[in-house]
């Protein structure tokens, strides 16, 4: 009887639940009420930003690692986000504006580490290598010329070709193509570099009233100071030369003034003054005939010898 009562109660609750579901007017209205959809119009500015972000991500994914240089122990000397570009036509290397200062980075490092040199590798792919176009060494020499114009001793830069698998873009360019490594000079290379330090010819406007050393003289002063510290028994002779324009006596005086300017600068950089002699030969020892402005510029020079 107890079980029958429980069963009847269950049926009653079930019937009430069914009635509630199908008969409750306000409940069905609430349940069936649709949620309004707000139409969103596209924002052109946001779409443009999204498109640019996508394109930038694709560019970054396809771009090689930025320009960098490694030291003799594999450490980063410097590293950029941007990179150089080579092309499939010639040995020229395109240098983007953000990389214009990389040559000074090289100069500063070699100035600090006088026992090191820079190896510049220019890339060639297998096709270029088979054609014997020598684009790899041309690209490396292109970079070397830029560094030498910065004032770096050419004898501390070695150029080489490196075979590398890469393909050019549709416009004939490849991002990358140059590898820079600093290495410690071995004995043979050190002898070559020291020979160039002991006999150096400089061209500049050394006779300015407000004499300002150029990058070549600044970098050479670091090398010469290191050389004299290593060989303290040696002395330096600075000889000024001119072209043949003007009177001979005046040119002898100009040559002396130029030599004096260089001597004073080297002393200011820490070279003992008693080790430096300044002389002049004026117009008496030209290296080329004084028959053109270009040749006269070559004769206006400073020769430095270390004995």
pLDDT digits over 207-256, tens only?
Answer: 555 678 889 999 999 999 999 999 999 999 999 999 999 999 999 999 99
Going by C-alpha positions, the residue among 144, 152, 154, 145 that lies closest to residue 180 is: 144
Which among 152, 185, 218 is the end of a domain? 185
> Are residue 129 and residue 205 in the same domain, yes or no?
no
Yes or no: say if 115 and 155 are a contact pair by the CB < 8 Å rule: no
- 281: tokens are 């030969």
Going by C-alpha positions, the residue among 166, 87, 175, 178 that lies closest to residue 127 is: 166
Number of compact structural domains in the chain: 2
Yes or no: say if 181 and 70 are a contact pair by the CB < 8 Å rule: yes
Going by C-alpha positions, the residue among 298, 300, 249, 255 that lies closest to residue 278 is: 255
The region of weakest confidence among 16-20, 86-90, 181-185 is 16-20
> Is residue 18 domain-resident?
no
Query: Domain range spanning residue 210?
Result: 191-306
> Are residue 79 and residue 168 in the same domain, yes or no?
yes
Q: Is the dihedral of CA 291, 292, 298, 300 positive or negative?
A: positive
> Are residue 248 and residue 296 in the same domain, yes or no?
yes
> Are residue 155 and residue 104 in the same domain, yes or no?
yes
> Are residue 178 and residue 195 in the same domain, yes or no?
no
Neighbour count for residue 92 (Cβ, 10 Å): 13
Chain-centre distance of CA 6, in angstroms?
A: 91
Confidence at residue 43, expressed as pLDDT on a 0 to 100 scale: 67
d(CA 257, CA 240): 8
Which among 160, 185, 210 is the end of a domain? 185
> Is residue 47 domain-resident?
no
Measured between alpha carbons, how far apart are the two ends of the chain, in Å?
130
> Are residue 204 and residue 252 in the same domain, yes or no?
yes
Which among 185, 217, 232 is the end of a domain? 185
> Is residue 130 domain-resident?
yes
d(CA 294, CA 243): 11
Model confidence band, residue 36 (pLDDT cutoffs 50, 70, 90): low
Query: What is the DSSP pairing of strand 276-282 with strand 236-241?
Result: parallel
Give the CATH number, domain containing residue 174.
3.30.1330.60
> Are residue 178 and residue 68 in the same domain, yes or no?
yes
If you search the block for the tokens 């999204």, which residue do you land on?
50
> Is residue 5 domain-resident?
no
> Are residue 144 and residue 232 in the same domain, yes or no?
no
> Are residue 222 and residue 150 in the same domain, yes or no?
no
Instruction: Kindly state the average pLDDT of the residues 172-193.
Output: 96
The per-residue pLDDT for range 62-113, each reduced to its tens digit, is 444 799 999 999 999 999 999 999 999 999 999 999 999 999 999 999 999 9
> Are residue 222 and residue 285 in the same domain, yes or no?
yes
> Are residue 181 and residue 196 in the same domain, yes or no?
no
| Average pLDDT taken over every residue of the chain | 86
> Are residue 241 and residue 150 in the same domain, yes or no?
no
Give the torsion through C-alpha atoms of 261, 267, 271, 277, to 10 deg: 50
Confidence at residue 63, expressed as pLDDT on a 0 to 100 scale: 47
């Amino acid at each position: 009887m107890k079980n029958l009562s429980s069963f009847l109660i269950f049926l009653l609750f079930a019937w009430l639940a069914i009635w509630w579901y199908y008969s409750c007017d306000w409940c069905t209205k609430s349940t069936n009420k649709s949620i309004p959809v707000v139409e969103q119009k596209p924002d052109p500015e946001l779409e443009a930003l999204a498109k640019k972000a996508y394109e930038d991500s694709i560019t970054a994914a396809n771009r090689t690692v930025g320009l960098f240089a490694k030291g003799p122990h594999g450490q980063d000397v410097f590293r950029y986000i941007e990179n150089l570009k080579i092309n499939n036509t010639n040995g020229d290397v395109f240098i983007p504006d953000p990389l214009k200062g990389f040559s000074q980075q090289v100069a500063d490092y070699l100035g600090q580490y006088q026992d090191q040199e820079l190896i510049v590798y220019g890339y060639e792919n297998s096709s270029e290598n088979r054609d014997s176009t020598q684009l790899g060494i041309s690209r490396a020499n292109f970079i070397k010329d830029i560094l030498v114009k910065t004032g770096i001793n050419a004898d501390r830069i070695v150029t080489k070709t490196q075979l590398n698998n890469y393909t050019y873009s549709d416009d004939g360019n490849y991002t990358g193509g140059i590898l820079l490594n600093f290495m410690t000079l071995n004995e043979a290379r050190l002898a070559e570099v020291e020979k160039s330090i002991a006999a150096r010819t400089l061209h500049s406007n050394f006779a300015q009233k407000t004499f300002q050393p150029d990058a070549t003289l600044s970098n050479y002063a670091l090398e010469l100071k290191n050389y004299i510290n290593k060989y303290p028994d040696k002395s330096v002779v600075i000889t000024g030369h001119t072209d043949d324009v003007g009177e001979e006596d005046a040119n002898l005086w100009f040559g002396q003034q130029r030599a004096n300017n260089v001597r004073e600068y080297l002393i200011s950089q820490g070279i003992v003054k008693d080790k430096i002699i300044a002389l002049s030969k004026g117009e008496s020892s030209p290296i080329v005939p004084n028959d053109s402005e270009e040749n006269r510029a070559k004769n206006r020079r400073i020769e430095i010898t270390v004995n």
